[in-house]
């Protein structure tokens, strides 16, 4: 894990911030932290997984079961394009694997505003995901087996794309408050 609240890249000048995109592994709290942050900013929350399910008319789990991960990733990329074209301001909670596609990373870096990596370690994510059985397995393995391997594949993408990394091992409300404090100076 990186240092707490680590900044990697230059951020927008004060007064210009009108988009915040949360990235990170499944279970790190993007949707929950995003909702709290959006409420505090009085901005809408866009949850990419919810938008995708609405567009497809089915759950992500059923899409995975029916068509597999490759088909899901195509739909995810199309959905991201549409979301990023939505007028600001907004807070975007992305899907955990959106960073796997290079075009998605380019789009996020260009149009995603402030990119925040909510970083959690494998044990924290495993504990959260085993308590949330509605989340689909990406490999057919359980969270204990799946998380360390997939996190290792994705962590570099998250870190490289993020302008700000915030530890997400605390309760989501605490993470959201910490993130809000960091965002206030950027508006």
- Answering whether pTM is above 0.85, one says yes
Q: Tens digit of pLDDT for each residue in 148-167?
A: 999 999 999 999 999 999 99
Spell out the domains of the chain, with CATH numbers in brackets: 6-184 (3.40.50.300)
Tens of pLDDT along 41-76? Answer: 999 999 999 999 999 999 988 888 899 889 999 999
Q: Running along the chain, 187 residues long, what does each successive block of 10 average in pLDDT?
A: 45 66 95 94 96 94 88 96 96 96 97 96 90 66 81 96 93 89 76
Mean pLDDT rounded to a whole number for the chain: 87
Strand arrangement of the beta sheet that strand 164-167 belongs to: 6-7, 164-167, 114-119, 19-23, 90-93, 45-47
Q: Residue 22 in contact with residue 118, Cβ under 8 Å?
A: yes
């Amino acid at each position: 894990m990186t240092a707490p609240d680590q900044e990697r890249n230059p951020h927008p000048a004060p007064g210009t911030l009108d988009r915040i995109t949360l990235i990170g592994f499944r279970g790190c709290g993007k949707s929950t932290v995003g909702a709290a942050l959006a409420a505090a900013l009085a901005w809408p929350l866009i949850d990419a997984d919810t938008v995708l399910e609405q567009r497809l008319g089915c759950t992500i789990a059923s899409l995975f079961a029916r068509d597999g991960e490759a088909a899901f990733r195509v739909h995810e990329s199309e959905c991201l394009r549409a979301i990023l074209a939505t007028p600001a301001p907004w807070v975007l909670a992305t899907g955990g694997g959106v960073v796997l596609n290079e075009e998605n990373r380019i789009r996020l870096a260009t149009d995603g505003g402030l990119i925040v990596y909510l970083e959690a370690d494998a044990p924290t994510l495993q504990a959260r995901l085993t308590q949330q059985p509605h989340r689909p397995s990406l490999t057919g393995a359980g969270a204990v087996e799946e998380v360390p391997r997939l996190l290792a594949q994705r962590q570099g993408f998250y870190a490289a794309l993020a302008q700000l990394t915030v530890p997400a091992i605390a309760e989501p409300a605490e993470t959201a408050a910490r993130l809000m404090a960091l965002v206030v100076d950027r508006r």
